[in-house]
Amino acid sequence: MRIHLNSIFVDDQAEALRFYTDVLGFVKKHDVPVGEKDRWLTVVSPEQPDGAELLLEPAGHPAVKPYRDALNKDGIPVTAFAVDDVHAEFKRLRDLGVRFTQEPLDMGTVTTAVLDDSCGNLIQLQQLA
């Protein structure tokens, strides 16, 4: 068994696609119209184009807002991305204007940082020791 797809809720799919590709560096994999305005929109790591996909899912369901508000209020990331060098990614992304809620923090076996994806989510970057 393998993880094939994970999803995050986004307020605006076009803005999310721009952020996840132009800023974070992911690559668009699927972009299929669903209904009148929504899309089945996934991105993948350029390092693993056939790996797990991240679905940028519209945040229209009524449960999404209270769920995300509670996570954001408590500073809990909705997902985590592995990076080779948290400090370098932190600097690169901060220089691009990305807002971080947690600067790099060494916790022994892992170093993490948490960013705001500008689409309603907190994302953790992780570097394993």
Give me the pLDDT at residue 119, please: 94
Could you list the mean pLDDT of each consecutive 10-residue stretch along the chain, which spans 129 residues? 96 97 98 94 97 97 96 97 98 98 97 96 97
The CATH classification number of 5-128 equals 3.10.180.10
Q: Return d(Cα 58, Cα 46) in angstroms, integer.
A: 23
Q: Assign residue 8 a region: left if phi > 0, alpha if psi is -120 to 50, beta otherwise?
A: beta
Token pair of 9, please?
């809720």
Give me the pLDDT at residue 65, please: 95
- The whole-model pTM stands at 0.94
Give me the pLDDT at residue 124, please: 98
